[in-house]
Amino acid sequence: MSAALHFDAVWASEPRGAAAPAKLNGVTGVFGSGIHLVIGELDDGIETLLAVASGRSAPRRGEVRLGEALPHRDASVRRRIGLLDVDASLPEGTTVSDALDHFRRWHPDAAEDLAPIGAPGSLHDLRIDLLTAGQRLQLAWRLALALAEPAVLLLHDPFRYGPEFLQSGPDEPAAADVLRALSSRGTVVVITAPQAGSYFEIADAIYLLAAGQLHGGEPLRHAVRYGRLKVSLDPRVGGDARALAAALSEHEMVHGVKWSERMHEASVTIEVAQLEDGARLVAQLAASLGSAVTRLSPAVPTRRELEATIHAQRAQRAGTHG
């Protein structure tokens, strides 16, 4: 079994200087094997979280451990941690080729041949400072995943241009499938992003980093996944969001019905006790109304909804222990 990444009462500053105000304020948590989504803005401490988790900087107080080892003190541990940071920074070097050579020296057991990076059309001779933001992201993603059996992957908003952007060719597996495969083999995958977005459906646990404090975990993931269902429709082929919302509102098992309709897309969001029952009811009503449903999916929560869920869980725990 792989080692977990532990945060034990961690206080830490911005990685750019120890004199900066603390950005992690007593963070405690355990990231085991699986895909963990941490939602937060840079001002909430995301950059600092990545810095101490990767071992690039040490906490002011508390400990970050991979198993029993401290990444900031052990280079061999840091070599087992893949990182795509906030700036998609690359190894030292003037050209891409220089950066790849530096990476190979630091990671002599890299899992893949790095020569094809940038294909079609090699990036090797390009100056790093001339790469586009997209090229930097693609290169940083590949280097983060090039480790042989990584213990931890720390990835900041890797799907910012869409998951398909990270595929260099049609024969490559989808980025989400790559992360699922790694997590199934024991790799701890931590994704940080400002919004849940397309990460929501692959995350095993969801956290909210707010004002330097970490909230949530598996219970939060369960609460937001199994409570809300989004129904997507196409108005051009008979998708009537208003009529479907009205029909759903008449059923006792359905709550919080909301609908929206634009020129080429429409949706209905509902709250149900069980997604499976809700999906079955949606299918029945849509068929009776002749509405064209294009997709059923768990509704991606907004940050405000995550905060409300956290407060509700705290109140429930307080009532249980009161």
Same domain, 296 and 183: no
Same domain, 174 and 188: yes
Residue 108 belongs to domain spanning: 5-223
Same domain, 161 and 285: no
Same domain, 154 and 132: yes
Same domain, 11 and 51: yes
Q: What is the predicted pLDDT for the residue at 218?
A: 60
Q: What is the predicted pLDDT for the residue at 1?
A: 45
Same domain, 248 and 233: yes
Its pTM stands at 0.77
Q: What is the predicted pLDDT for the residue at 110?
A: 67
151 belongs to a structural domain: yes
Domain boundary among 194, 223, 252: 223
Domain boundary among 223, 249, 265: 223
Q: What is the predicted pLDDT for the residue at 118?
A: 45
Residue 121 has pLDDT above 60, yes or no: no
The domain that contains 193 carries what CATH number? 3.40.50.300
Same domain, 244 and 288: yes
289 belongs to a structural domain: yes
Highest averaged pLDDT of the listed ranges 8-22, 180-194, 268-282, 305-319 = 180-194
314 belongs to a structural domain: no
pLDDT above 90 as % of the chain: 34
* Residue 266 exposed, middle or buried by CB count within 10 Å (0-12, 13-18, 19+): buried
Same domain, 182 and 134: yes
234 belongs to a structural domain: yes
Same domain, 186 and 255: no
Highest averaged pLDDT of the listed ranges 62-66, 78-82, 175-179 = 62-66
Q: What is the predicted pLDDT for the residue at 120?
A: 38
109 belongs to a structural domain: yes
Same domain, 235 and 298: yes
317 belongs to a structural domain: no
> What is the pLDDT averaged over residues 180-204?
91
- pLDDT, one tens digit per residue, over 16-66 is 554 555 589 999 999 998 999 999 988 889 999 999 999 999 999 999 999
Domain count, the chain: 2
Mean residue pLDDT across the chain: 83
Poorest-confidence range of 138-142, 174-178, 233-237, 266-270?
A: 233-237
- pLDDT, one tens digit per residue, over 267-305 is 999 988 777 788 889 989 998 998 888 888 777 777 777
Same domain, 202 and 243: no
The domain that contains 275 carries what CATH number? 3.30.70.1340
Which of the four pLDDT bands, split at 50, 70 and 90, describes residue 157?
A: very high
Residue 78 has pLDDT above 60, yes or no: yes
3-state secondary structure the chain: CCCCEEEEEEEEECCCCCCCCEEEEEEEEEECCEEEEEECCHHHCHHHHHHHHHCCCCCCEEEEEECCECHHHCHHHHCCEEEECCCCCCCCCCEHHHHHHHHHHHCCCCCCCCCCCCCCCCCCCCEHHHCCHHHHHHHHHHHHCCCCCCCEEEEECCCCCCHHHHCCCCCCCCHHHHHHHHHHCCCEEEEEECCCHHHCCCCCEEEEEECCEEEEEHHHHHHHHCCEEEEEECHHHCCCHHHHHHHHHCCCCCEEEEEEECCCCEEEEEECCCHHHHHHHHHHHHHHHCCCEEEEEECCCCHHHHHHHHHHHHHHHHHHHC
Same domain, 267 and 152: no
- pLDDT, one tens digit per residue, over 87-103 is 888 877 778 888 888 88
